[in-house]
Amino acid sequence: MGWETRIGMSSSPIKTVLLVDDSRFFRTATERVLVKAGYAVVSAADGEEALQIAKEKIPSLILLDMLLPKLDGASVLHRLKSDPKTEKIPVFVLTSLSQRNEEKLVKDGASAFLEKDQLTKDPQPLLQAIARILR
């Protein structure tokens, strides 16, 4: 059959989330939340690694930090949305920056904008936003 399934769920395949953040602590904590919610997770610690993984794995969704080494999040977002292979992957921007950037990020192709400070306190808004996009 080849499809991975979640226990007690339908036979639809597990959705894969690419989590891109340079903070190992944030990646580990967020990965635990996502796996517990039934998602498969692949991680990248910098922008270049994120682009490589996105092209190889074609995840269902990308969670993208803006402040990254090697290639910043805005550049990663632009390249993802400029590449026919990755342009349709929804990208959620995760940032510590204020929401004044939200309009520009959505214009550049982000599907959603979430502040990391809020997510560390309560992951439910992230899980709800992911579920809405991946229905």
Element (H, E) at 75: helix 73-82
Percent composition of the chain: helix, strand, coil (DSSP 3-state, to 5) = 45, 20, 40
Sheet strands side by side (includes 40-44): 40-44, 16-20, 61-65, 91-95, 112-115
φ, ψ of residue 59 to 5 degrees: the values are -65, 165
C-alpha span between 10 and 46 (Å, rounded)? 34
C-alpha span between 58 and 23 (Å, rounded)? 23
- Return the structure tokens found at 63: 């969670």
- pLDDT at position 7: 38
- pLDDT at position 9: 45
Is the model more confident about 10 or about 82? 82
Nearest to 42 by CA among 23, 68, 20, 75: 20
Domains belonging to the chain, first-starting first, are: 16-133 (3.40.50.2300)
Element (H, E) at 131: helix 124-133
Give the confidence band of 18 by pLDDT, cuts at 50, 70, 90: very high
| pLDDT single digits (tens) 34-62 | 999 999 999 999 999 999 999 999 999 99
Strand 16-20 with 61-65, pairing: parallel
Question: The pTM is what?
Answer: 0.86
